[in-house]
Amino acid sequence: FKKFEDYWGGWKRPYLDRIIVKIIKEAVVSQQMLEAGEVDLATRIPIDSIARVQAREDCEVLRGPSFMNYCLHLNTAKPPLDKKLVRQAISYAIPYQDIIKVSVAGWGRQAVGPVPYGEFGHDEYLYQYRYNLDKARKLMAEAGYPKGIDGKLILTYAAENIAEKKFCPLIKEGLGKIGIEVEIRPMIWTSQWEWVKGDPQKAQDLAALLWWPTFNDPYDTLYSLWHAEEEPYWNFAYYKNPKFDQLIKEAYETSGSDPERAKGLYSTAQQILIMDAPSVFLFDVERGVYKRANLKGYIINPSYPRVPFFYYMYKE
């Protein structure tokens, strides 16, 4: 890429005249090229190598928020996940902090509801499930499963997603402790999605999903993932709640004229979702950027966490 002389933003401050973008498939190769000074910026390196790169004087690791998050969606259309108490029990049986540590080396924060930290509509005061096996077992007993369920539940995840590959065994282990046997089934993302969009009675029981919004309003996430659908598309939980649907519709229609009222409506809708527990809100992703120390001006935009804004960068 070369600088466009007539760009409306102008070129009055330091900038880059030319940018070369290389597609490197292997994360370890990106790391090696960064450490050797062959590249100035790498968007991905092995998680286990972050501390090593960070310790180098000629490299820097930047860390910032993103509006990306992971959820575990529960099939509310068939037993035993059609029972709210079972879904709440599952929410207490998830080792959230272990999942964040193992799958993304601590680069995340346990989610507080479905709207990521920092995005309009996020409410830090919503109820948050914590790992608590005693509560989980008590809820299972109240639901009629004091000794666990018969059979096993199928958990799918996108085989290409390294984080999901790492945290799904922890979910299986946690649920096993409350009498829920889980079979993990990795699938190519397109195949997983096609299965989700089929008949809910024949679909998976549990589905891991990495999500990010297309625009910065909670409506995009809340409508896409939990609004009632006649034919499944993104509602992996097959969740249906008219009150929830009405609240997010009213909030979206109000957000431009009265954002504070909209935030209140979104919070109420999210609290309903949390208590109904059609999904487990695992963690919000933090974005890492790996660069040479002399490259300056990198901006981590949580709306576009994977996009490098080259216009603001320069080298010293």
Residues 61 and 194 in one domain: no
The reply to whether 135 falls in a domain is: yes
Which pTM value belongs to this model?
A: 0.92
Q: And the tokens for 48?
A: 């286990």
Query: CB 4: neighbour CB atoms within 10 A?
Result: 9
Q: Does residue 203 contact residue 75 with C-beta atoms inside 8 Å?
A: yes
The 3-state DSSP class for residue 198 equals: coil
**In which residue ranges of the chain is pLDDT below 70?**
none
Determine the structural domain holding residue 305 and report its residue range.
Answer: 27-65+287-315
Residues 6+ apart with CB under 8 A from 256: none
Q: And the tokens for 291?
A: 């660069």
Residues 171 and 41 in one domain: no
Q: Does residue 148 contact residue 180 with C-beta atoms inside 8 Å?
A: yes
Residues 47 and 109 in one domain: no
Cα–Cα distance between 22 and 98 in angstroms, integer? 34
Residues 116 and 57 in one domain: no
pLDDT at 52: 94
Q: What is the DSSP string of 98-139?
A: HHHHHHHTT-EEE-SSSSPTTSTT--TTS------HHHHHHH
The reply to whether 55 falls in a domain is: yes
Q: Does residue 295 contact residue 152 with C-beta atoms inside 8 Å?
A: no
Cα–Cα distance between 81 and 141 in angstroms, integer? 14
pLDDT at 48: 86
The reply to whether 14 falls in a domain is: no
| Domains held by the chain: number | 2
Residues 6+ apart with CB under 8 A from 46: 27, 28, 31
Residues 174 and 311 in one domain: no
Q: Does residue 66 contact residue 285 with C-beta atoms inside 8 Å?
A: yes
CATH number at residue 221: 3.10.105.10
Query: CB 40: neighbour CB atoms within 10 A?
Result: 18
Summarised one tens digit per residue, pLDDT across range 50-91 is 999 999 999 999 999 999 999 999 999 999 999 999 999 999
**Four-residue CA torsion sign, 230, 235, 236, 241:** negative
Residues 85 and 105 in one domain: yes
Residues 90 and 53 in one domain: no
Query: CB 163: neighbour CB atoms within 10 A?
Result: 24
Rg (CA), the chain: 22
pLDDT at 47: 86
Cα–Cα distance between 4 and 121 in angstroms, integer? 38
CATH number at residue 58: 3.40.190.10
Which run of H or of E encompasses 280?
Answer: strand 279-292
Q: And the tokens for 192?
A: 């997983």
pLDDT at 136: 98
Across the chain, which distance is largest between two alpha carbons, in Å? 71
